[in-house]
Structure 1
Amino acid sequence: MNFRDRCRLFWNLVLLSIGSAVFAQETALEFFNSVSEHYKSISDYSVDIVIEKGDTVQSAKVWYKQPNKLRLDFASPQGMVMTVDGNLLQVWVPAYQTFFTQPLRGNSQAQLANVSSSNGLELIKKYYTISYDPGPELMSLEPDSPIKVVKLKAEWKSSTQGFRRLDLSIDTDRQIRKIVGITTINEEITFIFSNFSLNQGISDSKFQFEAPSTGNVIENFLFDPS
């Protein structure tokens, strides 16, 4: 084999190796799909959430049950509760001693379910372009955190969505640990998730709430259900 043939063989092997690595590596969309499949397998969960927007920080314990039951018990603001039992949205705001209620239309139920389930991930896939940020390598969730995550960015395909960009941090169990959303007016809202507990068999009664009888009641605070 002469020098030219050896060079040609060498570069063919290099190109083959590079090509194999590219095809073997999970694409950002494939990785995102695997996260969506994981969330589809979850019948219910509880998780701690911290929501940050500017100087405002809220924290709550979240319970969710497929397909559209949700409860948030807030530690900050203290005592605030939000529940969705599948048909009715209820919000208790103790600072104002006010109980807000809203019967939900079918499309509203679907939207609430989408926010808190694998359907929400399907909507991200539909309306956003997904890529690694910066690559598929594991990195620390925060500079001093032992939690390792893959970071994705989802950039809107059109200006019809509420967030122009979503930055997602996903751990090795395919669970979302952090979302940073950039709104249409460039405001940043951060959601941080911790202390996951999956498939506990949460009772439907968890999503029922009765406000104190002394509070004010405001019905249909979002829209007229008729």
Structure 2
Amino acid sequence: MLVFTAIAPMAAQELLTAPRFFDTVAERYSSIEDYVARIVMRNGEDLMEGTLYHRRPNLIRIDFTRPADQVLVSDGRTLLVHVPRYNVTLQQELRQRQDNVGGLATEQGLRLMRANYSIAYLEGPAPVPLEDGSNLMVTRLRLDWRNTNEGFRQLVLSVDDNGLIRRIEGITVGYDEIRFDFRDIRLNQSIPVTRFDYTPPTSANRLNNFLFEQEG
């Protein structure tokens, strides 16, 4: 009886609350200078995949293989997407509240999540397989928006035992379900800043502020 009495408080101390677990993930990403990963994005029947490059604090580039040759780059202030299929380049000046956005699986992205979402375990703190038949064990967090200004009503983060996000599942404002998978993650690759330079073809049509009008 005395043994159990002594162990119980220790177990309670070792069990991380969901917000504290989230903070350990954020701390992990704050120590990462850059990374490369294969990203797979699913939205219903639509599938996109490519190579994701991130350099802190907020540089992002995705070179897509599906759709082929499509490119997305962002410095946290401007988002640029070149869509060769339609020979169009989309450019978006990001809202003030999004000035630090560098993607979801980044230090900046996690900071915004911490401020704007409530955090809980999806089912509990115990690791579970990423999906049926997977050997990858993850801890799953559920994030629910605190206000309607965010792009996602809900996010589910799947975090591996290295503190890396391997999957993000989101429900958008319009109730679309989107999934991001991060595979073959390579950390601290000394990615040069020039990797994020991109000049779209001069022949491409340009569409500015395609997501929303700039706030005054």
TM-score with structure 1 length normalisation? 0.83
Q: 1:137-180: CA deviations, max 9, x gaps?
A: 12211111111111111123344433222111100110000111
Structure 1 residues 179 and 88: CA distance shift in structure 2, 3 A: closer
Aligned to 2:10, what secondary structure does the other structure show?
Answer: helix
The amino acid of 2:122's aligned partner reads: D
Gaps of 5+ in 1: 1-9
Q: 1:83-139: CA deviations, max 9, x gaps?
A: 2246643321111112234456765532x3364521221222222222222122122
Give the alignment of 1:172-191 within 5 angstroms: 172-191=161-180
Would you say 1:50 and 2:31 are equivalent positions? no
The amino acid of 1:195's aligned partner reads: D
Aligned to 1:72, what secondary structure does the other structure show?
Answer: strand
Matched residue, 1:23: 13
Matched residue, 2:81: 91
The amino acid of 2:21's aligned partner reads: F
Which one of 167, 179, 187 corresponds to residue 198 of structure 1? 187
The amino acid of 1:18's aligned partner reads: A
The amino acid of 1:143's aligned partner reads: D
Whose radius of gyration is greater, 1 or 2?
1
The amino acid of 1:192's aligned partner reads: D
Which one of 64, 78, 91 corresponds to residue 68 of structure 2? 78
Which one of 138, 151, 166 corresponds to residue 140 of structure 2? 151
Counterpart CA distance in 1 for 2:10 and 2:203 is 68
Which ranges of 4 or more aligned residues in structure 1 deviate by more than 6 Å?
none
Give the alignment of 1:95-134 within 5 angstroms: 95-102=85-92, 108-110=98-100, 112-113=101-102, 115-134=104-123
Counterpart CA distance in 1 for 2:94 and 2:155 is 27
Counterpart CA distance in 2 for 1:224 and 1:154 is 27
Identical-residue share of aligned pairs (%): 34
Q: 1:68-95: CA deviations, max 9, x gaps?
A: 2111111122111112246643321111
Counterpart CA distance in 2 for 1:184 and 1:220 is 19
Matched residue, 1:208: 197
Structure 1 residues 101 and 129: CA distance shift in structure 2, 3 A: closer
Counterpart CA distance in 1 for 2:95 and 2:19 is 32
Matched residue, 1:142: 131
Structure 1 residues 81 and 225: CA distance shift in structure 2, 3 A: farther
Matched residue, 1:3: none
Which one of 157, 162, 168 corresponds to residue 168 of structure 1? 157
Gaps of 5+ in 2: none
Task: Report if aligned partners of 1:85, 1:208 keep a CA contact under 8 Å in 2.
Answer: no
Q: Alignment length, in residue pairs?
A: 215
Task: Report if aligned partners of 1:70, 1:85 keep a CA contact under 8 Å in 2.
Answer: yes
Task: Report if aligned partners of 1:45, 1:198 keep a CA contact under 8 Å in 2.
Answer: yes
Counterpart CA distance in 1 for 2:133 and 2:118 is 30
The amino acid of 2:42's aligned partner reads: E
**Larger helix proportion, structure 1 or 2?**
1
* Bigger Cα displacement from structure 2, 155-164 vs 172-181: 155-164
Structure 1 residues 41 and 139: CA distance shift in structure 2, 3 A: same
Cα offset, 1:212, TM superposition: 2.8
Counterpart CA distance in 2 for 1:105 and 1:17 is 50
